[in-house]
C-alpha cells in the first residue's frame, strides 16, 4: 500500500506551502496573514490575507510582525478577502501534492478555510515524509537549503520560505 501511495505522490507535481501568521504560536491564537505556494518547477505565488471578521479579536504580536514585516495597515490596504485567497490558492494547488515543513501550515490552511465556511481544500503533508521516502539525508537537506538560500533573492517571509524549500527539493531530486 505504501508503494502505491508513493507512486501517486511521485506522479503528481510537488508544491510547498508556507504561511505567515499574526503571532508566534506561543503568543496566542493566531490567524494567517500571508500564504505562499511554490511549485518545485519554480513557479511561486503569494497572497496577503485581509483578516476575516471573526479574527478581529485574535492575537497580534510585535515579535511576529518584526519577523514577517507585515503590518495590520498593510493587510487592510493590500490584503485580499479570505475567500478570494482560498479560491486562488486552490486553483494554484490543483493537481499538486502539497507539502510544508511545519504542521502549523496545515492548521492555518484550516483556519483560512473555516473563515470561508469550508473545509481545508487539500491535504498538507509533512515535507520530511517526501524526503525520507526518497532516502535523502539530513546533511543533504541542510546543504540544499543553504544552496537554495544563496541562489534565491530575498523575498517576503512566506514566499521566500516556500521558494527556498521548493528549490531545495528540486536540487535534491528533480520532481514534477
Distance, in Å, from the CA atom of 18 to the CA atom of 159, rounded to the nearest integer, reads 7
Q: What is the pLDDT of residue 164?
A: 79
Distance, in Å, from the CA atom of 63 to the CA atom of 39, rounded to the nearest integer, reads 29
Q: What is the pLDDT of residue 155?
A: 58
Q: What is the pLDDT of residue 146?
A: 80
Q: Which three cell numbers stand for residue 8?
A: 501517486
Q: Which residues of the chain, if any, have pLDDT below 50? A: 1-9, 175-176
User: Vertex 110, ends 81 and 114: CA angle to 5°?
Assistant: 55
Q: Which residues of 1-36 are buried (b: 16+ CB within 10 A; e: fewer)?
A: eeeeeeeebeeebbbbbbbbbbbeeeeeebbbbbbb
Q: What is the pLDDT of residue 8?
A: 42
Give the pTM.
Answer: 0.83
State the residue for C-alpha cell 536540487: 171
Distance, in Å, from the CA atom of 17 to the CA atom of 37, rounded to the nearest integer, reads 5
Q: What is the pLDDT of residue 133?
A: 85
Percent helix, strand and coil across the chain, each rounded to 5?
50, 15, 30
Q: What is the pLDDT of residue 114?
A: 97
Q: What is the pLDDT of residue 163?
A: 81
Q: What is the pLDDT of residue 10?
A: 53
Q: What is the pLDDT of residue 121?
A: 96
Query: What sign does the dihedral 136-138-139-142 (CA atoms) show?
Result: positive
Amino acid at each position: 500500500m505504501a508503494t502505491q501511495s508513493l507512486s501517486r505522490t511521485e506522479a503528481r507535481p510537488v508544491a510547498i506551502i508556507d504561511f505567515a501568521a499574526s503571532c508566534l504560536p506561543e503568543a496566542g491564537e493566531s490567524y494567517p496573514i500571508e500564504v505562499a505556494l511554490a511549485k518545485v518547477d519554480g513557479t511561486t505565488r503569494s497572497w496577503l490575507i485581509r483578516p476575516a471578521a471573526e479574527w478581529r479579536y485574535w492575537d497580534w504580536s510585535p515579535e511576529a510582525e518584526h519577523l514577517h514585516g507585515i503590518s495590520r495597515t498593510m493587510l487592510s490596504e493590500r490584503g485580499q478577502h479570505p475567500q478570494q485567497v482560498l479560491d486562488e490558492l486552490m486553483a494554484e494547488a490543483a493537481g499538486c501534492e502539497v507539502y510544508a515543513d511545519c504542521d502549523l501550515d496545515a492548521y492555518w490552511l484550516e483556519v483560512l478555510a473555516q473563515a470561508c465556511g469550508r473545509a481545508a481544500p487539500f491535504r498538507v503533508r509533512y515535507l520530511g515524509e517526501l524526503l525520507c521516502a526518497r532516502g535523502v539525508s539530513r546533511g543533504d537537506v541542510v546543504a540544499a537549503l543553504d544552496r537554495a538560500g544563496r541562489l534565491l533573492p530575498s523575498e517576503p517571509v512566506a514566499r521566500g520560505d516556500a521558494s527556498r524549500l521548493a528549490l531545495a527539493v528540486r536540487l535534491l531530486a528533480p520532481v514534477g
